[in-house]
């Protein structure tokens, strides 16, 4: 008898055995696929995250929009519909970084026009802004949005700024 212990057949593998593991080519293909997914997936994820923040900031400004609409109904004009008057909440100072209203860094209302800077970042890492301008109709107030937060070829992180 030999002093050498024999291993069961499944545990004794030679390096040339096809079941020994992955080849270098197989590992490189898997790494290449993961890199491609990351290359396209991560930017889309970042864009969607910033759009969500901008939409959240717009939802947070709804109280201001309602206050302006109430001011227009009561006075019949936009003049004097400012932050902190009537039912329009007070302005949010620059640098609040979402402490007062989530995702809103700064918000001001002057003669019914709401100017908001969100915490959402554009591609150039600047905070995106939205300007909501009321245009009175006979029954309701329509809002026109503009600003750097509007979607376009230069801002894939923006939202649609159609009349709402």
Q: Where are the domains of the chain?
A: 24-146
- Predicted confidence band of residue 130 (pLDDT cuts 50, 70, 90): very high
Is residue 164's pLDDT more than 60? no
β-sheet bridge partners, residue 132: 114, 145
Confidence of residue 42 (pLDDT cuts 50, 70, 90): confident
**Half-sphere exposure at residue 104, Cβ-oriented, CA atoms within 13 angstroms:** 23
Summarize the confidence of residues 87-107 as an average pLDDT: 93
Q: Are 100 and 68 in contact (CB under 8 A)?
A: no
The topology (CATH level 3) of 24-146 is Glycoprotein, Type 4 Pilin (3.30.700)
Residue bearing the bigger pLDDT, 3 or 77: 77
* Placement of tokens 């376009």 in the chain: 152
Question: What is the average pLDDT across 19-28?
Answer: 84
Q: Of 76, 2, 82, 50, which is closest to residue 159 (Cα–Cα)?
A: 50
Q: In the predicted model, is pLDDT for residue 145 greater than 60?
A: yes
Fill in the DSSP letter of residue 101: S
Residue 162 in this model has a pLDDT that exceeds 80:
no
Does 160 have pLDDT greater than 90? no
User: In terms of pTM, does the model score above 0.85?
Assistant: no
Q: How far apart are CA 73 and CA 78, in angstroms?
A: 10
- Greater pLDDT, 76 or 132: 132
pLDDT at 18: 59
């Amino acid at each position: 008898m030999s002093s050498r212990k024999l291993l069961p057949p499944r545990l004794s593998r030679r390096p040339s055995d096809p079941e020994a593991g992955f080849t270098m080519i197989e590992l490189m293909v898997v790494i290449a696929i993961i890199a491609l997914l990351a290359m396209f997936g991560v930017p889309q994820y970042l864009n969607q995250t910033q759009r969500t923040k901008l939409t959240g900031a717009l939802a947070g400004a709804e109280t201001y929009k309602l206050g302006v609409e109430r001011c227009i109904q009561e006075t019949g004009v936009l003049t004097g519909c400012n932050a902190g008057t009537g039912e329009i909440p007070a302005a949010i100072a620059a640098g609040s970084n979402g402490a007062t209203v989530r995702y809103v860094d700064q918000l001001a209302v002057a003669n019914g026009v709401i100017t908001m800077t969100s915490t959402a970042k554009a591609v150039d890492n600047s905070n995106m802004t939205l300007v909501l301008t009321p245009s009175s109709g006979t029954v309701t107030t329509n809002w026109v949005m503009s600003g750097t937060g509007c979607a376009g070829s230069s801002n894939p992180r923006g939202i649609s700024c159609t009349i709402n």
